[in-house]
Amino acid sequence: MLVVMNPGVTDNEINEVEKQLKGFGFSVHGPKGNNRRIFRISGESDVDTTIIEKTIPYVEKIVFPHYPFELASRDYQEEKTVFKVGDVEIGAQKTIIMAGPCAVEGRESYLRTAKAVKEAGAHILRGGAYKPRSSPYAFQGLEEEGLKIMAEAREMTGLPIITEVLDQYSVEIVAEYADILQVGTRNMQNFRLLKELGQLRKPVLLKRGMSATIEEWLMAAEYLLSEGNNKVILCERGIRTFETYTRNTLDISAVPVAKELSHLPVFVDPSHGTGLWRCVPPMSMAAIAAGADGLLIEVHPSPKEALCDGPQSLMPDKFAQLVNSLKKVAETVGRTL
Ligand code: PEP
Ligand code: MN
């Protein structure tokens, strides 16, 4: 159940409402602050909820949401969530491109790739320092050294950086460097990690679990929101189906569905979504046409030598061509790039 306060309530008034709700026996969840004038409440309180509207000042109405992901839903917030990461606005008219290699493999190659993707028009740099690999014998990432290299690339390019956080033990170290923390597909339902990231006031990109329904994905986002973090990006990255030619089946239809259900920005990762670099340009166009707020694309200077995900990585020149061709698609759907 959502308690919506009058427009223009002050922080003090919000705190007062929270105190009164707690006094009635409700527990109170959700982002706070004077631009957040809605609480999600639950609990065993025996107070007739209509009393809340009548007795607590500053309360405009009570809303009973249509979905279990209450804070992530459009019932909670009709307008789209928009927030800034550095100078980059996420969720607004402009389509945002995050690009870089799957993993940070070394200083020189990362800085070179970072420079190339910036020149091609990327807005945010990606790279994995802690890699979730299927095989324990595969390259696991450079860990803190990788984070330091990414921080150097941020200095050099002026672009914010996004990197994956694998577990709750490394939240602190990753948060020290990253501008956006990525939760990978394998961790979408790592609820301890989500709670920890919910308490952190840093943007989180939440990949869809490879076998998760859209509702499970939005419930995972609800974990972040219910802990107070409203800077959440949803990212469709392909799901497991019976198809084996592609690595995953990129569920483009999840984009309009998630955007209709939720106010959160929705990104698409066509690299993991298909596993094939040739599929990345057409799927990027499809994603933008479907309403995606941004893309997450793997770029590697020499994919054949990549330590991770070479077959799905674009060479920098192909990436530059793609960014150019995406401008037209973005314009067609009323966006910029
Ligand atoms: C990644 O983006 O590097 C990654 C591992 O993605 P996913 O969690 O979608 O497999
Ligand atoms: Mn990868």
Q: Of the residues 63, 91, 116, which one is the last residue of a structural domain? A: 63
**Per-residue burial over 147-159, b = 16 or more CB atoms within 10 Å of its CB, e = otherwise:** bebbeebbeebeb
**Same-domain check for residues 46 and 185:** no
List the domain range (segments joined by +) for residue 54.
Answer: 2-63
User: Number of structural domains, the chain?
Assistant: 2
Spatial neighbors of 302 by CB under 8 A, at least 6 apart, are: 315
pLDDT surpassing 90 at residue 157? yes
> Which helix (DSSP H) or strand (DSSP E) does residue 207 occupy?
strand 204-207
**Ligand 1 pocket check for 272: Cβ under 6 Å:** yes
Q: Residue 194 in contact with residue 183, Cβ under 8 Å?
A: yes
**Ligand 1 pocket check for 163: Cβ under 6 Å:** no
**Same-domain check for residues 11 and 90:** no
**Ligand 1 pocket check for 237: Cβ under 6 Å:** yes
Query: Is residue 78 a part of any domain in this protein?
Result: no
**Same-domain check for residues 29 and 111:** no
The least confident of 21-35, 38-52, 53-67, 76-90 is: 21-35
**Ligand 1 pocket check for 29: Cβ under 6 Å:** no
**Same-domain check for residues 120 and 9:** no
- pLDDT tens digits, 257-305: 999 999 999 999 999 999 999 999 999 999 999 999 999 999 999 999 9
Which atom belonging to ligand 1 lies closest to the Cα atom of 182? Answer: 2
**CB-count exposure of residue 327 (10 Å: 0-12, 13-18, 19+):** middle
Atom 4 of ligand 1, nearest CA residue: 184
Query: Is residue 150 a part of any domain in this protein?
Result: yes
Q: Which chain residues have CB less than 5 Å from ligand 2, an ion?
A: 102, 309
| Of 126, 123, 122, residue with least CA distance to 110 | 126
Confidence bin at 53 (pLDDT 50/70/90): confident
**Same-domain check for residues 21 and 102:** no
**Ligand 1 pocket check for 102: Cβ under 6 Å:** yes
**Same-domain check for residues 267 and 317:** yes
Mean pLDDT, residues 45-72 taken together: 86
Q: Of the residues 63, 94, 111, which one is the last residue of a structural domain? A: 63
Query: Is residue 72 a part of any domain in this protein?
Result: no
pLDDT surpassing 70 at residue 32? no
